[in-house]
Amino acid sequence: MSENKHIPGSFCWVELTTTDLAGAKHFYSELFGWSTSDQPAGDHGVYTMFLKGERQVGGLFQRTDEMAAQGIPPNWMGYIAVEDVDKSVAKVRELGGQVVMAPMEVMEEGRMAVISDPTGAVVSLWQALKHRGAGGFGDPGFLCWSELATRDTDTAEAFYQGVFGWTNTKQDMGTFVYTTFSHQHPFGGMMAMDEKWGDAPPHWMQYFAVVDCKDSARRAAELGGNVCVPPTEIPQVGTFAVINDPQGATFTILQLLPQGDC
């Protein structure tokens, strides 16, 4: 298990729910150079670890029939480290959030819960025991940013500050205001959804660092993915692209400028 330590309130893990385990393993291994390791998961069958070298990146599992019946699509889920899941869940309820999945033990690895913020975006909580989380942050092939898209930024800001103690700074991007979340260091951001988003629900987007955004986007398309947003420059930051994997899970790749820092 990873010995990497994540401070409470920081994103510590990402997890892919898919409809095609073999297809997802092939796509991400070819795109990011990840390897995979299948681990027994008790009554849940098999849980797959994505690795970059010897370091764990995130997890992968097959969507269950129950999840399919609930209309849950393939997706990347972010996990936030907490000291005590039960206390965090109580705080979530107090501040207007919902508990999607009540706290539960994950064998000897840790304790988790799934919550939604008051605006509807879903994220997971992780209280580490044996499993501390991902073995890196910001390196190529690893998570480097998590971004919330919501229709009520004020409510979301107050919620996450109250539950996790996040601080924020705002930047006028010309056509919208971008909020950067920090917890000892910047780790993610938030933007408001408008009518251009259609009926898309509020959600968290996970960003993975790459060396060459254009090359990675081209490779994703060759592997059967769909490049929803082509490589686009962000002034003074870098170049990003939004991708749907062949099963429909959405993620973003980000090539930072040399002076950039996720």
Question: Environment class of residue 130 by beta-carbon count within 10 Å: exposed (0-12), middle (13-18) or buried (19+)?
Answer: exposed
Is 126 in contact with 80 (CB distance < 8 Å)? yes
Angle (nearest 5°) at CA 137 between 135 and 141: 85
- Structural domain boundaries of the chain? 11-128, 143-256
Same fold, 11-128 and 143-256: yes
CATH of range 11-128; options 3.40.50.10470, 1.10.10.60, 3.10.180.10, 1.20.120.80: 3.10.180.10
d(CA 35, CA 120): 33
Homologous superfamily (CATH) for 143-256: 2,3-Dihydroxybiphenyl 1,2-Dioxygenase, domain 1 (3.10.180.10)
Question: Environment class of residue 168 by beta-carbon count within 10 Å: exposed (0-12), middle (13-18) or buried (19+)?
Answer: middle
- Look up the pTM and report it: 0.94
Residue 5 has a pLDDT of 67
Name the CA dihedral angle for 185, 262, 151, 98, rounded to a multiple of 10 degrees. -60
Question: Environment class of residue 22 by beta-carbon count within 10 Å: exposed (0-12), middle (13-18) or buried (19+)?
Answer: exposed
Helix (H) or strand (E) holding 86: helix 85-94
Is 158 in contact with 191 (CB distance < 8 Å)? no
The β-bridge partners of 189 are 147, 180
From first to last of its 262 residues, the chain has per-residue pLDDT tens of 334 568 999 999 999 999 999 999 999 999 999 999 998 877 667 899 999 999 999 999 999 999 999 999 999 999 999 999 999 999 999 999 999 999 999 988 999 999 999 999 999 999 999 998 999 999 999 999 999 999 999 999 999 999 999 999 999 888 889 999 999 899 999 999 999 999 999 999 999 999 999 999 999 999 999 999 999 999 888 999 999 999 999 999 999 998 644 4
Using the Cα atoms of residue 198, residue 199, residue 205 and residue 207 in order, give the sign of their dihedral. Answer: negative
Identity of the residue numbered 122: V
Helix (H) or strand (E) holding 80: strand 75-81
Among 114, 34, 109, 36, which residue's Cα sits nearest to residue 75?
Answer: 114
